[in-house]
Structure formats: C-alpha cells, structure tokens
Amino acid sequence: MNPSTCVKSEIIAVPDLPMFQRGDDLPGIIFERACAAGLAFVEHDVVVITQKVVSKVEGRAVRLSEVEPSPEAVELAAEVRKDPRFVELVLRESRGVVAMRPDLLVVETRQGIICANAGIDRSNVEQTGESEWLVLLPADPDASARAIQSRLESLSGIKLAVLIIDTLGRPFREGVIGMAIGVAGMDPLMDMRGQADLFGYVMERTIINRADEIAASASMLMGQTTARLPVVIVRGASYWPGAGSSRSISREPWKDMFRPQGYLRLGKA
C-alpha cells in the first residue's frame, strides 16, 4: 500500500427504487436504477440489500388473521404477552426458543440466526384490508443472495458480492445494528490467525467478521423509517472473495458460552 494515497471506501445508496412487490425482478430493478443514476458497478463492489425487500419480492408476507395458533403457541404467548398467532409464526420459523420474558421472545431461526421474534415484523410493510400483514425472513437468505449475485453479475459483467442484512439486537449492548443474514461472493470471515502484525508478532486468534462490518456500514445509510434506501453499494471494502455462506457466521452451540444450555428446542430440525 502506498502510504501517501488516501485509503477510502464509499457507501452509496441506489436511488429511486420502487416499493417492491411480490414477484418483482429485484436484481433487474437494482441494476437498472443504479445505471440510471450513473452508478456503474465496480469490481469487488458489495451490494447490500435489506432483508425486508428480499422477503417482499419472495412473497414471504403473511396475513395475521390467517394464522391458526397451536396449543404450544397459545401457552408461550401468555408467557411473553404477545398475540398467539404472532407467536405461532415465530415458532414455525424457529428451531428453538433461546430466551424469553414478557415482551421478548428470542429464538434460533431455521436459518440459524439468533434474534428476537425470528426477525418477523410489520414495519415498512404496506397494510391492505383489515388484517395485519407481517413479513418473515427469506426462507434461505444465502440462496437469495446467490441468485441476486448471479443475476447482477450477468447483467453487469462485473464480479460482485451480495449481502442480505437485517438490524438485530445483541446481548450486553443497547440498540440494533445491521448484520449479514445472507452472503454470496465473499467469505464473511477474515481469518487473520497466523498473520504478522506491525512488529512481526504472529496473531493467534483474530478472526474479523467483515460481512457484519460491511452490513453495519450499509445499515448506517439505510435508515429505518421513511428514507426508503433498501439497497446500498459498499465500494472499496477489503474482503476475501469466495463462495461464502452465512452459516460460517453462526457460532456452533457447543462453542458458545452465552447460549442457555437447556434451552427449549422445538420438535424439528
């Protein structure tokens, strides 16, 4: 690296995106609007997309009135003081309940993500008719990311990575931040073990979650309410290209000291 050159990264929101609907050609629209705004893709760009629009396009919206709660959901709903139909949806999307208390239900989702309410919510979802619409996480966010990556690469002729992100809470620290839940085209982790530091000391344990750092930087621009910037290009970030998968982000339960040991696993894989 030339020490006199400014090292720089840019976070650029793709402008003028529509309200996405089920069945929309998400990568096609992203590519078209990026080009229209003069944002030609550059090798190694990371295209970061909020989970909500991926789920909408994939038809992962559910009408609350059409959900029939199981006895298990009714019981749990009383404990956490939530709508039994909502709890039913959360349980359907989960492998197990990790922690709960009134007003909070933390689960491990089918995708292996530990988060509140299995990532299900109703914000920024158009409400039509009398019953509430809720949006689930994409069924397989890595597959969604790969499909979008492949389409964007063939449209642009440029090698890209794609992240699907959501804003998630964490133990110990207040406030949600953007994190990667679907990964394509990059190794989410940069394993620096064995590399030498400034003084030749070989680092023993540093593994950087670069996907989550990129997710947080994109989230910084997306906003949460009326900004409507669901797609952000992160340009100039260093990462290791590769097939990649969000699975390598989820810590194995046996390695995790903060996962309650006897937590409720539901009767399914």
Ranges within 49-88 binding a second copy (CB under 8 A): none
H or E element that contains 99: strand 94-101
Q: Under the criterion CB under 8 A, does residue 254 sit at the interface with a second copy?
A: no
x/- mask, a second copy, residues 118-157, rule CB under 8 A, reads ----xxxxxx------------------------------
Stretch of 54-62, 75-83, 85-93, 219-227 contacting a second copy, by CB under 8 A: 219-227
Distance of alpha carbon 135 from the chain centroid? 13
- Nearest approach, Cβ of 61 to a second copy (angstroms)? 13
Q: What is each CA distance from 3 to 6, 92, 201, 235, 237, in whole angstroms? A: 8, 53, 21, 20, 17
Q: Under the criterion CB under 8 A, does residue 42 sit at the interface with a second copy?
A: no
Q: Under the criterion CB under 8 A, does residue 173 sit at the interface with a second copy?
A: yes
> What are the tokens at 170?
């964490």
Contact 177, 91 (CB under 8 A): no
Closest CA to 211 of 250, 174, 153, 155: 250
Residue of 61, 143, 158, 221 that binds a second copy (CB under 8 A): 221
HSE, CB side, 13 Å, CA atoms: give it for residue 7: 5
Site residue total, a second copy (CB under 8 A)? 82
- Nearest approach, Cβ of 256 to a second copy (angstroms)? 6
x/- mask, a second copy, residues 191-210, rule CB under 8 A, reads -x--xxxxx-x-x--xxxxx
CA distance 254 to 208: 20
Cβ-based nearer residue to a second copy, 49 or 106? 106
Cβ-based nearer residue to a second copy, 65 or 127? 127
Residue of 147, 155, 177, 264 that binds a second copy (CB under 8 A): 177
Cβ-based nearer residue to a second copy, 68 or 103? 103
Residue of 87, 97, 160, 214 that binds a second copy (CB under 8 A): 214
For residue 89, report the phi and psi dihedrals to the nearest 5 degrees.
-60, -45
> What are the tokens at 222?
């997306």
Contact 180, 219 (CB under 8 A): no
- Nearest approach, Cβ of 183 to a second copy (angstroms)? 12
Cβ-based nearer residue to a second copy, 139 or 220? 220
- Nearest approach, Cβ of 33 to a second copy (angstroms)? 11
Give Dmax (Cα) for the chain.
66
- Nearest approach, Cβ of 215 to a second copy (angstroms)? 8
> What are the tokens at 80?
């956490």
Read off the amino acid at residue 228: R
Contact 59, 74 (CB under 8 A): no
- Nearest approach, Cβ of 71 to a second copy (angstroms)? 25
